[in-house]
Amino acid sequence: MYSKKINIDLIKKIKESFSKEIKETPLEYSGRLSKKYGCKIFLKREDLQLVRSYKIRGAFNAINKLGKNREAGVVCSSAGNHAQGVALACKIFKVSGHIFMPKTTPMQKIERTKKFGGRYVKVILEGDVFDEAQKEALKFSREKGMNYIAPFDNMKVISGNSTIGLEILAQMSDLKEVPDIVIVPIGGGGLISGIASYIKKINPKIKIIGVEASGSASMSEAIKNNSPVELSKIDTFADGVAVRKVGKLTFDIVKKTVDDIIIVPENRISATILKLLKEEGIILEPAGALSINAIRDIPKKQLKNKTVVCVLSGGNLDFNRLPDIKERYLKFKGLKKHLTVFFPQRPSALKEFVNCLGKNDNIVYFHYSESEGIWGEARIAIETNKKENFGKLYKKLNKAKIRFLENGKNRI
C-alpha cells in the first residue's frame, strides 16, 4: 500500500513548495551519545523548526493542496504541535482556522498557537485528552462545512512528513554515510508513516524503529490486534504522542514499513530530557526525547559500528513542567521515596526518626495528621544522592522499631 501512495518525485515537489518558514533542519552528530553506545549517532533536529516541531510540514502541505477550497476555512484538533503547524499555515495562506485542543494542553503550547496564527485562528479548548478534542473538532467541521486537517491519518499530512526522510538521506549522502537505523517517535503514526514510507522506498535495507511512551502505546496495541484499537486510558505526560487510537491509514503503513517498536517508560524519558538540557543544551519536550531514550533498549551488538539517526520531533517544553519532570526523574533513578510513617504520640518520636536519616538524606515534604489514638501519621518525601541510601535508612528504621510504609508496602 505505502509504495503506491508515496511518490518520490511528489515528495521532492512538496519540499520545493515549502515557504521560507519551513526549514531544512540540521542533522547533527552527537559525540557524547556515539561514544556512549559505540556507534555513530546523528540527531535530526526538528525541534529547531519555527514552530519547534515537524508538524508544520504536514499542515502546510495539507492546506496547500486544498487550493480554492481553503476559502471555506480549516479545522484541526491537536495536543499542541499540530495546532501550531496549522496555525502558522493558516497565517501563511491567510485562511481562517479553528483549532481544538485538550484543556490539559500546556499553556505554552496554547499561547504559541495563538501567536503563530494571529488574527487568522481561534483556539477552542475541549476535553481532557486529544481524542475528546478531536471528536468536537470533527463535529464542528461538519456543521460549518469547513476542511478538517487531521493530525496524522491524512495522506497529504503524511506526504509532508516524508520530506524529513528525504532530507535525512540527502544529508547523510553529503556526509558519505548511509543510515543503518532510523529511530522515530510514534503518536498517531503520521510522522513515522511519512519517514518510513520514503526511506523504505529508496533503501529497504535501512531499519526503521518506532518508539512509544508506555502510557500511550496505541500503535503497539493496534499491531497486536491487527487493527487500531482505542486504549481505555492513557498517560498524558508525553502529550505530543498521547493518542488513544492510531489512524487506520497510519496503522497500515506502519505495519508494512516499520521493523520494530520500542516502548519506553515515562519516568525514564524525564532522565533523557534533563540530561540533554544539562549536557548539550538541547530543549526537548517528552515526545521529542523518545528516540534518544529508546537507544538503550537496542542490544549493543546491533548498534556496534552502526550509523543511527534519531528524529527529535519537538522542543515545545513548557518550563512550568520542570518540577514534574524532575519528580519523575528522581523516581526513575530511585533517588526519591514517599513514606507514610506512624509516630507514637509521645515526646522525641520525631527525633528518633530524624536520627535515622543519613547525611545525604533530605526531607522535602512533611505532613503530619494527629490521630485520636496513640498513633499519629506523617506523609514524608525524602530525596537522596544514591538509591542505596534508602536501604540503609530502612535498616535503621526497622532497628529503631519505627513503623512505616513505602510505595504501599508495609516495611514494619
Catalytic residue list: 55, 313
Helix (H) or strand (E) segment spanning residue 367: strand 362-369
CB atoms within 10 A of CB 199: 26
Q: What does residue 96 show for φ and ψ, rounded to 5 degrees?
A: -75, 135
Torsion-angle region of residue 176: left (phi > 0), alpha (psi -120 to 50) or beta? left
44 CA to centre of own chain: 15
Q: Which residue has the cell 519506553?
A: 264
Whole-Å CA distances, 227 to 130, 235, 254: 20, 21, 11
Q: Which residues have a Cβ under 8 Å from the Cβ of 120 and sit 6 or more positions away? A: 87, 90, 91, 94, 95, 96, 97
Helix (H) or strand (E) segment spanning residue 375: strand 375-383
Distance of alpha carbon 27 from alpha carbon 67, whole angstroms: 33
106 CA to centre of own chain: 13
Q: What cell was used for 328?
A: 519523575
| HSE-CB of 238 using CA atoms within 13 angstroms | 36
Strand intervals (E) in 157-293: 181-185, 207-213, 260-264
Write the burial class of residue 154 (CB in 10 Å: 0-12 exposed, 13-18 middle, 19+ buried): buried
User: Which of 195, 188, 223 is CA-nearest to residue 209?
Assistant: 195
Helix (H) or strand (E) segment spanning residue 270: helix 266-279
Distance of alpha carbon 399 from alpha carbon 392, whole angstroms: 11
Sequence letter at residue 45 = R
Distance of alpha carbon 268 from alpha carbon 279, whole angstroms: 17
Distance of alpha carbon 155 from alpha carbon 110, whole angstroms: 26
Residue-wise over 329-357: b if at least 16 C-beta within 10 A, else e? bbebeebbbebbbbbeeeeebeeebeebb
User: What is the three-class DSSP state of 130?
Assistant: helix
